């Protein structure tokens, strides 16, 4: 049986380049980068500085000291939000974000709400977009931070980050963006975007799991999230994961170098899949934008009258890996907060599947998926009481197209 991986928004396969970059830090230079009185430690420290410079360069940071390595994208998000909140609590207690952020951002905000902070969760439009005007209107003299993701992990919406950052700065408010899904899928340059903080995570762009980074512009005051030793210029304790960082730096270098080639490839396959599904399956709704504001690799449809989990099970039996909503939310019975925020009715939000193509996805993978999917949907609808109710005229359809 074919094996087709279409869940690249959940994680990506570690590239050979990343593995090759990591190995020497397990076999040879395994010293502690803080132990600089002997050779292996010194070598580790030298490597760490070089890797920091490489990551800085590849996201357009002007100084390597603006890169802080973390153990994940979730940690970077938590640090940005809680760290700014605690460092600025005398200035204000208000934070602005959106309803469709990743759970790392939403969870950190909910934690702060229980600790005296006020959070505005902005509505998004039917494509998942938040307008810079809406962000600006929500700013008060108590606002200390705005956090809006660069690109959404479920429906692929690319947010107008540069304009939102400008709005924030007009009011002297700090701006953070979760760019975890953006790296490798679109240009990401902290100087051009004008952001104060930016989160990234290696495993979303063919690096290893368990390593990420937070860009913090020089001059931004932020409280520590992890206390202990003096690593990361005293801002983040823990012995550095040098191998992981090397893997991330190598993966980022490839992501940036091959960006045009990879995004063109992914876009082609994405559109092949979107158009193919539209031709072959009825009663469906594409979630997210249909123009250049959609991530090059994201395909998210709601299929009326069927359950997302059932579709996934049948896809899996055919060797196809996809996802319903985000990996972190699956296992819960609530429909995706993102789909509800863009106004997808509960009934069809439950029947939603995300396919996310990758740089190593092939046309054959897409053709095979297009071959298999319609039969699965037909079979599930044949067994669906909702579909029966529809055919008997007892309920109406939410999706207009037959
Ligand atoms: C995956 C993801 C994260 C979390 O990154 P981890 O490294 O898995 O903790 C955060 N934000 C977005 C948008 C993501 O897609």
Out of 181, 252, 336, mutate this one to test ligand 1's pocket (max ligand atoms within 8 Å of CB): namely 181
Count how many residues are written for the chain: 402
CA 27 centroid distance within chain: 32
Mean pLDDT for each 10-residue chunk of the chain (402 residues)?
95 98 96 91 95 98 98 98 97 98 98 98 98 98 98 98 98 98 98 98 98 98 96 96 98 98 98 98 97 98 96 98 68 82 93 97 98 98 95 89 44
Q: What is the DSSP letter of 96?
A: E
The predicted pLDDT at position 329 comes to 47
Check pocket membership of 72 for ligand 1, CB cut-off 6 A: yes
Check pocket membership of 201 for ligand 1, CB cut-off 6 A: yes
Question: Is-catalytic flag, 328?
Answer: yes
Check pocket membership of 211 for ligand 1, CB cut-off 6 A: no
Check pocket membership of 244 for ligand 1, CB cut-off 6 A: no
The predicted pLDDT at position 331 comes to 52
- 118/280 Cα distance (integer angstroms): 47
- 263/233 Cα distance (integer angstroms): 35
- 153/158 Cα distance (integer angstroms): 10
Out of 14, 178, 225, mutate this one to test ligand 1's pocket (max ligand atoms within 8 Å of CB): namely 178
Query: What is the sign, positive or negative, of the torsion defined by CA atoms of 287, 290, 292, 293?
Result: negative
Check pocket membership of 212 for ligand 1, CB cut-off 6 A: yes
Check pocket membership of 207 for ligand 1, CB cut-off 6 A: no
Please name the residue that has the structure tokens 């869940």: 7
- 281: number of Cβ within 10 Å: 18
Which residues have CB under 8 Å from 61's CB, separation 6+? 55, 67, 190, 191, 215
Residue 251: phi and psi, rounded to 5, are -65, -40
Nearest in space to 168 (alpha carbons), one of 200, 144, 197: 144
Query: How would you class 141 by CB atoms within 10 Å of its CB: exposed for 0-12, middle for 13-18, buried for 19 or more?
Result: exposed
The predicted pLDDT at position 402 comes to 43
| Long-range contacts at 25-34 (CB < 8 A, ≥ 24 apart) | 25/242, 25/243, 25/246, 26/243, 29/242, 32/239, 33/231, 33/239, 33/240, 33/242, 34/229, 34/230, 34/231, 34/239, 34/240
CA-11 nearest atom, ligand 1: 1
The predicted pLDDT at position 1 comes to 84
Nearest in space to 282 (alpha carbons), one of 355, 378, 370: 378
Catalytic residue among 74, 296, 328, 400: 328
What does pTM read for this prediction? 0.96
Q: In sequence order, what DSSP letters do the residues of 244-289 get, joined into one string?
A: HHHHHHHHHHHHHHTHHHHHHHHHHHHHHHHHHHHHH-SSEEE-S-
Residue 300: phi and psi, rounded to 5, are -135, 110
Q: In sequence order, what DSSP letters do the residues of 148-197 get, joined into one string?
A: --SB-TTT-BBP-HHHHHHHHHHTT-EEEEE-TTTTTTS---HHHHT-SE
Check pocket membership of 353 for ligand 1, CB cut-off 6 A: no
Out of 9, 72, 73, mutate this one to test ligand 1's pocket (max ligand atoms within 8 Å of CB): namely 73
Work out the angle at residue 372's Cα, subtended by the Cα atoms of residues 338 and 399, and round it to the nearest 5 degrees: 40
- 323/319 Cα distance (integer angstroms): 13
- 195/164 Cα distance (integer angstroms): 9
Q: In sequence order, what DSSP letters do the residues of 338-358 get, joined into one string?
A: HHHHTT--HHHHTTEEEEE--
The predicted pLDDT at position 347 comes to 85
Residue 73 Cα, ligand 1 centroid: separation in angstroms?
5
- 277/321 Cα distance (integer angstroms): 16
Work out the angle at residue 29's Cα, subtended by the Cα atoms of residues 23 and 30, and round it to the nearest 5 degrees: 85
Q: Look at phi and psi of residue 274 and say left if phi exceeds 0, alpha if psi is from -120 to 50, else beta.
A: alpha
CA-104 nearest atom, ligand 1: 10
- 93: number of Cβ within 10 Å: 17
Residue 43 Cα, ligand 1 centroid: separation in angstroms?
31
């Amino acid at each position: 049986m074919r094996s087709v991986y279409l869940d690249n928004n959940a994680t990506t396969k570690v590239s050979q380049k990343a593995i090759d970059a990591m190995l020497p830090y397990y076999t040879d230079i395994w010293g502690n980068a803080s132990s600089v009185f002997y050779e292996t430690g010194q070598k580790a420290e030298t490597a760490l500085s070089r890797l920091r410079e490489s990551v800085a360069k590849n996201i357009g940071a002007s100084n390597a000291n603006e890169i802080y390595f973390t153990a994940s994208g979730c940690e970077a998000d938590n640090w940005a939000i809680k760290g700014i909140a605690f460092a600025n609590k005398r200035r204000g207690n208000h934070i602005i974000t959106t309803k469709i952020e990743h759970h790392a951002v939403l969870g950190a905000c909910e934690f702060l709400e229980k600790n005296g902070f006020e959070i505005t969760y902005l509505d998004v439009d039917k494509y998942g977009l938040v307008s810079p005007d809406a962000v600006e209107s929500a700013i008060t003299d108590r606002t200390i931070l705005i956090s809006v993701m660069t690109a959404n992990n479920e429906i692929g919406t690319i947010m107008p980050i540069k304009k939102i950052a400008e709005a924030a700065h007009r009011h002297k408010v700090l701006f953070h963006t979760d760019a975890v899904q953006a790296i490798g899928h679109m240009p990401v340059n902290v100087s051009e975007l004008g952001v104060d903080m930016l989160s990234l995570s290696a495993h979303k762009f063919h690096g290893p799991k368990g390593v990420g980074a937070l860009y913090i512009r020089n001059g931004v005051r932020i409280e520590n999230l992890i206390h202990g030793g003096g690593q990361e210029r005293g801002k983040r304790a823990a012995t550095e994961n040098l191998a992981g960082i090397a893997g991330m730096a190598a993966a980022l270098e490839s992501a940036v170098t091959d960006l045009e080639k990879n995004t063109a490839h992914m876009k082609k396959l994405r559109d092949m899949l979107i158009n193919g599904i539209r031709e072959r399956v009825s009663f469906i709704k594409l979630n997210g934008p249909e123009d250049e504001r959609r991530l090059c690799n994201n395909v998210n449809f709601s299929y009326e009258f069927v359950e997302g989990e059932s579709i996934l099970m049948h896809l899996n039996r055919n060797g196809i890996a996809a996802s319903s909503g985000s990996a972190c939310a699956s296992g819960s019975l609530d429909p995706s907060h993102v789909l509800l925020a863009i106004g997808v009715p509960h009934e069809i939000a439950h029947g939603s599947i995300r396919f996310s193509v990758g740089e190593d996805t092939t046309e054959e993978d897409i053709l095979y998926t297009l071959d298999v999917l319609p039969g699965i949907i037909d079979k599930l609808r044949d067994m669906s009481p909702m579909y029966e109710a529809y055919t008997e005229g007892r309920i109406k359809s939410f999706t207009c197209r037959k």
